[in-house]
Copies of this chain bind each other. A is one copy, B any other.
Amino acid sequence: MQAIKELDYRPNAMAKGLASSKTTMVGMIVPDLTNLYYAELAQGIDAVAKIYNYSVSLAVSDGNAKAEREAFDTLRSKQVDGVIYMGSNPSDEIMQLMVSSSVPVVFAGSVDPEGKFPSVNIDYIQAFSEAAGKLKENFEDSKIALVEDPDNSKLSQLRRQGFFKALPNGKTYQAEDEYQMGYNLGRRLLSDGIKAVIVAEDATAVGILNYVRDNHVEVPEDFQIISTSDTKLVKMTRPSISSVTQPKFDIGAVAMRLLTKLMSNQEVSDPAVILPHEFVLRETTK
């Protein structure tokens, strides 16, 4: 203890890792850090990683299959003890890699299409069904649309399932998760006579809102919007956007906690954790 002070000794993590075959490092695969949804998940992940003394190795996947694969590969070569996967549409390729890799994986705010991995999510079907229900009161089905990712991911399917459960005759539109894509879509929505939308991604929702407002349509009088991630964004617009809320920080935190259990071979009672969502009424609905 004396010497440890005097020499400012610090254990060498690599030697430790080599000998114990544990790195106390987890990989975090994330599509895009500038997407606030994932950023907030990441904060939750980081927070509990700290508590359990894990470092987190970042791997931005851009949501494309190749980068995703490479991200997972470098994580593996780094001998991470586990990985948190985020992404709306995991490629078949990475799914295969993951199942065959033997490192524990948990999905955070992302749905595993085959249900092979533990995951933490909200009940998307229920959430989208409820959101659709709010709009049903004011408009006929055919005037209400779901704006979803162009991918045909399991997540998209769940959202659609919930949406159609409440609105069997609702419409669907595709737009990538970008502000400008939403803005561009606004034109089509208006010309198609759509009166209300549920939007899968916040940035897209803001884009739609701005297009609609820029074209002098009154919100919520003549057009209503419900967003479904409830990031900081939707509180910053005017009118502010009503939204399904998700406990994003907690989703990340619980996912990471789950992973720590897996990494220490503890039993996991329920591998598919569902956290509660809510609905916040703001100014784009009434």
Contacts and interface: CB of A to CB of B under 8 A. Distances in A.
Interface of A: 10-15, 17-18, 23, 25, 28, 32-34, 36, 39-40, 42-43, 46-47, 50, 53, 55-60, 70, 73-79, 179, 203, 206, 210, 213-214, 232-233, 235-238
Contact of A203 (B23, B78, B206, B232): B232
A57 B60 contact: no
A40 B46 contact: no
A28 B60 CA distance: 14
A58 B60 contact: no
A179 B236 contact: yes
A33 B43 contact: yes
B203 A77 contact: no
A6 to B, nearest CB: 15
Contacts of A46: 33, 58, 60
Q: How many copies of the shown chain assemble into the complex?
A: 2
B28 A58 contact: yes
Given A233-B236, A236-B236, A34 B40 contact: yes
Nearest to A37: B34
A179 B10 contact: no
12 contacts: A12-B18, A12-B77, A14-B18, A15-B18, A25-B57, A33-B43, A34-B36, A55-B75, A57-B58, A179-B235, A203-B236, A236-B236
Contacts of A25: 57, 78
Per CB-CB distance, the 5 closest pairs between chain A and chain B, nearest first, are A14-B17, A33-B39, A58-B58, A34-B39, A14-B18
Contacts of A50: 70
A206 to B, nearest CB: 5
A12 B57 CA distance: 16
Which interface residue of A14, A59, A206, A236 has the most chain B CB atoms within 10 A? Answer: A14
A238 B17 CA distance: 52
Contacts of A236: 179, 203, 206, 210, 233, 236-237
Contacts of A73: 10
Which interface residue of A17, A39, A53, A55 has the most chain B CB atoms within 10 A? Answer: A55
Given A14-B18, A40-B34, A58-B28, A237 B237 contact: yes
Given A13-B78, A232-B203, A43 B60 contact: yes
Contacts of A18: 12, 14-15, 18
A39 B203 CA distance: 15
A34 to B, nearest CB: 5
Contacts of A34: 36, 39-40, 43, 232
Contacts of A28: 58
Nearest to A40: B34
